[in-house]
Amino acid sequence: MRRELIEALNFPRELVLKIIDQRDCPHESLFKATDDRCQQCGLNRECHWVSCLNEFGDFEGKATHTLNASLRYGIDLVGTLHSKLRHDQKTCDCEPCVWMRDSQRLTEAFDARFASNRYRNLY
């Protein structure tokens, strides 16, 4: 399950990086909390999220709960970015909709497997 969570994080990360690239980011898509431009940018939360993922570096060292929480944020992010398309996310075959359905199933499987015992070692 860890591998699937890690792989699923690639889609929203790449999506945000493409959007940031279109905005001519002076920091090469790296969020800087002390920079006024980053603070005023409409993508500061998304950019910060990508920066956190980049800081993970080696995902293998992160707790499965952290990966799952990051994926949940990614699902919300993709849903928000694509909500303007106004199509049925339950039946649409576009890449974002398929990814969201698959990722939601993955987080539901995570909940079903691990939520019952919060003290269980997840490594």
Query: Is the confidence at residue 108, as pLDDT, over 70?
Result: yes
- Residue ranges in 1-123 assigned as alpha helix (H): 2-8, 10-22, 36-40, 44-56, 64-81, 95-114
Residue 100 pLDDT class (50, 70, 90 cuts): very high
Query: What is the pLDDT at residue 101?
Result: 94
- Looking at residue 31, its pLDDT comes to 62
Give the CA angle between residues 18, 106, 78 to the nearest 5°.
25
Residue 2 has pLDDT above 90, yes or no: no
Q: Which residues contact 78 (CB under 8 A, 6 or more apart)?
A: 11, 12, 15, 96, 99, 100
Interval 68-92: pLDDT, tens: 988 998 998 888 878 777 777 778 8
Reported as a single tens digit per residue, the pLDDT across 20-63 is 776 666 666 566 666 777 666 666 677 667 777 766 666 777 78
104-114 b/e (C-beta count within 10 Å ≥ 16 → b) = eebbeebeeee
Query: Does pLDDT of 111 surpass 80?
Result: yes
* Measured distance CA(112)–CA(117) in Å, rounded: 10
Contact between 48 and 110 (Cβ < 8 Å): no
pLDDT at res. 36: 75
**pTM for the full predicted model:** 0.76
**Longest distance between any two alpha carbons in the chain, whole Å:** 45
